[in-house]
Amino acid sequence: MIADVTMPLTSRTVETLAHIRLLHAQGVELAGQPEPLSAPAVLSFHDGVEMFYVLACEHLGIQISPKADFNEYWRKIAERVPSLVQRRGMERLNRIRVDYKHHVQIPGARNVNQARVDVDEFFLGNTPLIFGVDYSSVSMADVVPQADTRKRLNGAIAADRDGKRTEAMGLLLLAFHELFDPHQRPASRVFGQQGPIRPFELGGKVDWPLSPGDLERVLSDLSDQSRRSPVRGGERLASQINQVTKVATATQTAVRMIALGIDFYRFARFEALTPIYIPTFGNPDGWRAPDNYAPNDEELQYCLQFVVDVALRLAVIEGHLAAPSWVGTAEVRPG
């Protein structure tokens, strides 16, 4: 008996598929790390496949014991979908995971890479057979709780499908800043009213720093001409103040990332891969890409994964930033 892939997907099924793809993407990222940092990738892969098995049984109406062995899921699902692919690969993945988790045999790069290839083929081949959709069409954005960010991410995915890779990357950039940008100032406080809780703003961002030339002109206007000044003192001081501003701004960004539990090196790569963010008063969504800008599929997926991870982390943090009980409801924003 072949599964009826025309059955409509419920919202829960769509959201769970998105979560499965999230686990898969995390595994792929871990698999790219050097040994032994790559080893935990097999756990993410295994969790994703096992969740896929459970969801497939629910979708197909298959009754199976909660204590069923990992490989038993395949046998049950194959009775309904006989053309399933990568059975041997999933058995191999399960052996690697058992050896790693229960016998402390840390998988090397060869085993991790084999698991990645097997899992890639498993999801790509079996998702349309069971659920009637291409695996690549499953959007990780569906797990993002922030509605505006989810809209940006889905817009990026749609743009990329239409062959607009640069626009897609721009939308990912804007989604990140919409979540994270510190120059979304808190609203003015009315006397006696509790303001937003923003513990990670760290003093506010210098949005429009003066150039060294502007600083020098300001300092020259204020200088006391009756006293002897150092050679090119105004120019040197202006340059020093400007450099200190740059250092403070960069340090603030790094500290904010660390305070929020976001890997700063992941952010640095995201910033290197996305277009340049150039908001103005007239266009807060301004960005620009260089003429030779051409990110590949892996780089797009990396940036999408990063924004999803940031969105989920900020959602958790917002849950801890409730207003004090004695002041009632107040806006909560992580800053």
Residues 298 and 163 in one domain: yes
Residues 114 and 30 in one domain: yes
Between the alpha carbon of residue 280 and those of residues 178, 277, 285, the distances in Å are 14, 10, 8
CATH number (domain holding residue 64) = 1.20.120
Residues 167 and 103 in one domain: no
Among 138, 167, 200, residue at a domain's last position? 138
Residues 24 and 107 in one domain: yes
What is the DSSP code string of 146-206? -HHHHHHHHHHHHHHHTT-HHHHHHHHHHHHHHHH-TTSPPPPPPTTPPPPB-TTSTT---
Residues 130 and 159 in one domain: no
N-terminal to C-terminal alpha carbon distance within the chain: 55
Q: What is the pLDDT of residue 2?
A: 44
Number of domains in the chain: 2
In a domain, residue 253? The reply is: no
Residues 81 and 152 in one domain: no
Q: What is the pLDDT of residue 327?
A: 64
In a domain, residue 204? The reply is: no
Domain coverage including residue 42: 11-138
In a domain, residue 287? The reply is: yes
What is the DSSP code string of 299-313? HHHHHHHHHHHHHHH
Confidence of residue 222 (pLDDT cuts 50, 70, 90): low
Residue 60 DSSP SS3: helix
Q: What is the pLDDT of residue 78?
A: 93
Model confidence, pTM? 0.65
- What is the arithmetic mean of pLDDT over 267-295? 91
In a domain, residue 220? The reply is: no
pLDDT tops 60 at residue 191: no
In a domain, residue 265? The reply is: yes
Between the alpha carbon of residue 122 and those of residues 9, 90, 135, 241, 258, the distances in Å are 20, 8, 10, 57, 36
Write down the residue that tokens 């699902």 correspond to. Answer: 77
Residues 33 and 166 in one domain: no
Rounded to whole angstroms, how far apart are CA atoms 235 and 218? 11
Q: What is the pLDDT of residue 57?
A: 94
Rounded to whole angstroms, how far apart are CA atoms 69 and 53? 11
In a domain, residue 332? The reply is: no
In a domain, residue 82? The reply is: yes
Between residues 128 and 193, the one the model is more confident about: 128
Among 138, 173, 190, residue at a domain's last position? 138
In a domain, residue 286? The reply is: yes
Write down the residue that tokens 């305070």 correspond to. Answer: 259
pLDDT tops 70 at residue 195: no
pLDDT tops 50 at residue 192: no
Residues 177 and 93 in one domain: no
pLDDT tops 50 at residue 197: no
Q: What is the pLDDT of residue 189?
A: 37
Q: Is 300:168 a contact under the CB 8 Å cutoff?
A: yes
Between residues 86 and 253, the one the model is more confident about: 86
Write down the residue that tokens 């003429």 correspond to. Answer: 291
Residues 163 and 301 in one domain: yes
Computed from CA positions of residues 146, 151, 152, 157, in that sequence, does the dihedral angle turn out positive or negative? positive
Residue-wise pLDDT tens digits, 21-78: 989 988 998 998 999 999 999 999 999 999 999 999 999 999 988 888 899 999 999 9
Residue-wise pLDDT tens digits, 225-278: 555 555 566 666 677 777 887 777 777 777 877 877 788 888 889 999 999 999
Whole-number average pLDDT of the chain: 82
Q: Is 33:16 a contact under the CB 8 Å cutoff?
A: no
